[in-house]
Amino acid sequence: MTDRTAPSASRRRGAASADAHALAGALRELAERYAWLERHAMDPPGRTPERRDGMRRLSSRHPGALRELDAIGVDGVRRRAEAVRAALARAEAGEPVDLAADLAFARCAIALVPRLRDVLAIKRRIATAGVDVRAPAGRATLRAWYHRRTGRDLPDARIDEIASPPGGQVQQLAYRDAARELGLTVDRLKAILYPRAGERAERSTP
């Protein structure tokens, strides 16, 4: 007797295709992040309005990117950019890409960056639109805005967390949630993305 509850081969292929498409999209966005960082690193130093505007756009589109540049340096950014571009080429060619085995930093960034962007956008909306999240009407307004923006719901518990984040830092919610998804501690996730100089030197020693 055929097990009607088991997924069909075509359904499994469809799910695998969707996963591969999502991975390619995530790698494409990550490649853009490192391209921005490479350009920023090559900009002439100084506190010019143009440089400030560029940093502001970079931080808005790719939160955490400047911290990553500070941690790994220009050469580290270039190495990561090359690795991501190679992984993207494999993904677009339909070849398997194992982030957990080969690109731990990319796996962490893909889990973290959209969450950072999300919580920062909500926090900014609360502040700039003067939303009173203590009032039901304010919460309804915020939820409607969020649904228009993302197509997703915004639970009350999440609003509470973002309005009063742990330690006053809304970014920590994103780190916590990304680490939880990956089965890592927050400290380990940060160490992978933002290694200290001593750790980088130790890993590069034969």
Q: Are residues 91 and 104 in the same domain?
A: no
Number of domains in the chain: 2
* Residue at a domain's end among 97, 117, 139: 97
The residue-averaged pLDDT of 141-145 equals 97
CA distances from 169 to 114, 160, 164, 166, 184 (A): 17, 13, 8, 6, 20
Q: Give tens-digit pLDDT for 13-30.
A: 444 455 788 999 999 999
**pLDDT score of 56 more than 60:** yes
Q: Are residues 31 and 131 in the same domain?
A: no
With bands split at pLDDT 50, 70 and 90, how would you rate the model's confidence at 6?
A: low
**pLDDT score of 185 more than 50:** yes
Residue 5 pLDDT: 53
Q: Are residues 204 and 136 in the same domain?
A: yes
Q: Are residues 111 and 191 in the same domain?
A: yes
More confident residue, 99 or 202: 99
Instruction: Read off the amino acid at residue 72.
Output: I
**pLDDT score of 182 more than 90:** yes
Q: Are residues 86 and 143 in the same domain?
A: no
With bands split at pLDDT 50, 70 and 90, how would you rate the model's confidence at 58?
A: confident
Q: Answer yes or no: is 2 within a domain.
A: no
* Residue at a domain's end among 44, 79, 97: 97
Q: Answer yes or no: is 151 within a domain.
A: yes
Residue 200 pLDDT: 47
With bands split at pLDDT 50, 70 and 90, how would you rate the model's confidence at 7?
A: low
Residue 20: which domain range?
9-97
Q: Give tens-digit pLDDT for 88-107.
A: 999 999 899 989 878 999 99
Q: Give tens-digit pLDDT for 46-55.
A: 677 777 787 8
Quick one: tokens of 20? 């591969």
Quick one: tokens of 141? 């307004």
Q: Are residues 66 and 108 in the same domain?
A: no
Cβ-contact 105, 80 below 8 angstroms: yes
CA distances from 69 to 41, 90, 133 (A): 8, 25, 35
Q: Are residues 162 and 180 in the same domain?
A: yes
CA distances from 9 to 16, 23, 79, 202 (A): 10, 21, 39, 47
**pLDDT score of 183 more than 80:** yes
Q: Are residues 84 and 137 in the same domain?
A: no
* Residue at a domain's end among 52, 78, 97: 97
Q: Are residues 72 and 154 in the same domain?
A: no
Q: Are residues 69 and 139 in the same domain?
A: no
More confident residue, 13 or 195: 195
Q: Are residues 49 and 107 in the same domain?
A: no
More confident residue, 70 or 6: 70
Residue 12 pLDDT: 43
